[in-house]
Structure 1
Amino acid sequence: MTSLLTRVKSKMSIFAHRKARGILDGEYGSVFRGRSLDFDDLRAYVPGDEVRDIDWKASARHGSPLIKRYVAVRRQTLMLIADTGRNMAAGSRDGEPKKDIAVMALGVMAYLAHRHGDVVGLVCGDAFGSRTIPAKAGEAHLERLLQEVHSRASLDSGPSRLEEQLRHVARTVKGRNLLFVVADELAADPGLEQVLRRLRAQHEILWLTIRDAHLAGAGPAEDAFSVVDASPLPSRIAESSGVAAAYATATAGRDAGRHAMLRSVGISEGRVANSQEVMTELFALLERHRRAG
């Protein structure tokens, strides 16, 4: 069996030649900084310190800025949340299978957590139910998680409904964790927003969207079909510029609605169309999340 984690690590090594891996490690480590750490003491502010770490009340009493210092909790928990329904068996914006992009993204985050001494778990599934693999350490465990996602996302899977996995997390995952969600281009929905608000009150959440294929880029008409019900896409529809324009407009509206929903609940979103974009977009996503905090 091909090692998915080895493939992920190889791509990370290539990326490290162009951008220092330490920067990406630092961005991952900053996600929990000042949030899930135990308070230690106060010290004088020095240029370069994070403004958000200033204890304003103590500073007012002291007469000069004081910074809160924290003792790091030795081990954090990263929970990977993945849609493994039929939607993830489809092609992405650039034609690559969505599940391959998902495995790359999940693998990068999981390996970053492993390098920081954190434990990693997984919740995946479809509209019919969710499966949880408890958080553990070790590369063999990470490989198991990636193989689980890769093998479950197929045309034989149930319909995709990520809200089911998120509600499962809300019911079963205790404590304060970092949730990394990988999904396709979902539409904003009141039920989805409700469960996200509940989760965001307890956890840190990062969201990565894998872009859907263009209607015009679905491939030869005889090969184009819907992963939802396997129905073919007639060539006159696939080749219609009017239908393609309407589809693009609807897609833009769906994207705007989802982005607004995520922003309203305090969740940073990244978007990728292929696995080559994963490293750069994750770096940007972690940085946006840190700045927003």
Structure 2
Amino acid sequence: MTSLLQRVKAKMAIFAHRKARGMLDGEYGSVFRGRSLDFDDLRAYIPGDEVRDIDWKASARYGSPLIKRYVAVRRQTVLLITDTGRNMAAESYDGEPKKDIAVMALGVIGYLAHRHGDVVGLVCGDAKSTRSIPGKAGEAHLERLLGIVHSGPGLDSGASRIEAQLEYVARSVKGRFLLFVVADEIAADPATEQLLRRLRAQHEILWLTIRDAELAGTDQALLDSLNVADSSMLAGHLADSPSVATAYARAAAERDAGRHAMFRRTGITEGHVASSHGVMTELFALLERHRRAG
């Protein structure tokens, strides 16, 4: 059987020719910028930047505020964070198991880290328990991490709650890491926002949301099925009701808008993906947006 990492590498090879893969490498290499690292260069001040990062002498010579940018020393730790609860056993927007999309996304970032000489760790779990694998180098280690993520989610798994894994990181992880979070469509709330602010003050954070399956327009046979979040049955005839479909779409749009706003306020770059086929393109865009925001 083809290993999970081999599938990831095959997808990366198909994604683009050598030049474009080099651009992807470059976007990854630009992630680690922040305070307490080695000085890299200067850029124009953007509203929202930390005042403490302004280079006042250079700004006086230039005539407008300039921000110091920093680059990390080599060999960073990349911490992959994902939900392995029941929600990740569900189908995504495009009908693919969410856990397969998570494995592909985590594998791409993990493999980029490996190629750059960085070490990769994993934090995963559900609402009741969290598992942590320390950072280590090597393809065999990365294959093990992907296997843990792939084998975790199931209908008998615990309920999903990515906040539990983030709380574990906030309590237990020392130092400055790149946190790459893969989760389903969470809702914003004050407690989650406060937790994200705490993590963002210490770490670089990239977030990839896996889009939920749609209710309206879905085949009847698929809708008369199990809701993995609470093991209830979904009644297929409800999708035929315009009022139900409209209410569902409105609630989903409000949840998404709230999540996007929460990530903007906390300075976290978010991407979203509906299938493993879109992972490479979205990760490239996610890394590029993060670099430009830096």
Deviation at 1:215, TM superposition (A): 0.8
- Whether the 8 Å CA contact 1:36–1:73 is kept in 2: the answer is no
Maintained 8 Å contact 2:4/2:143: yes
Fraction of identical pairs, as percent: 72
Which residue number in structure 2 is paired with residue 165 of structure 1? 165
Residue segments in structure 1 that go unaligned for 5+ positions in a row: 43-48
Amino acid at match of 1:279: M
Secondary structure of 1:176's counterpart equals coil
Work out the CA distance in 2 between the residues paired with 1:182 and 1:215.
Answer: 22
CA 1:64–1:126 in 2, change beyond 3 Å: closer, same or farther?
Answer: same
Kindly indicate whether residue 227 of structure 2 is the aligned counterpart of residue 226 of structure 1.
Answer: yes
Where does 1:1-293 land on structure 2 (aligned, <5 Å)? 1-17=1-17, 20-33=20-33, 35=35, 37-39=37-39, 50-51=43-44, 56-59=55-58, 72-216=72-216, 217=218, 220-221=221-222, 223-293=224-294
The normalised TM-score by structure 2 is: 0.89
Code of the aligned partner of 1:213 = A
TM-aligned CA distance change 1:291 to 1:218, over 3 Å: farther
How far apart are residue 236 of structure 1 and its match? 1.8
Change in 2 beyond 3 A, CA 1:70/1:289 = closer
Cα RMSD (Å): 2.5
Question: In structure 1, what is the Cα distance between the partners aligned to 2:8 and 2:230?
Answer: 32
Structure 2 unaligned segments of length 5 or more: list them.
46-52
User: Which whole-Å CA distance do the structure 1 matches of 2:290 and 2:219 have between them?
Assistant: 33
Q: Is the 8 A contact 1:221 1:234 kept in 2?
A: no
CA, structure 1 residues 219+164, in 2 after alignment: closer, same or farther (shift >3 Å)? farther
Q: Deviations over 1:154-196 (max 9, x none)?
A: 1111000111000000011110010000010000012111111
Rounded to whole Å, the distance in 1 between the matches of 2:54 and 2:245 is 54
CA distance in 1 between counterparts of 2:71 and 2:243 reads: 59
Kept after mapping to 1: 8 A contact 2:177/2:203: yes
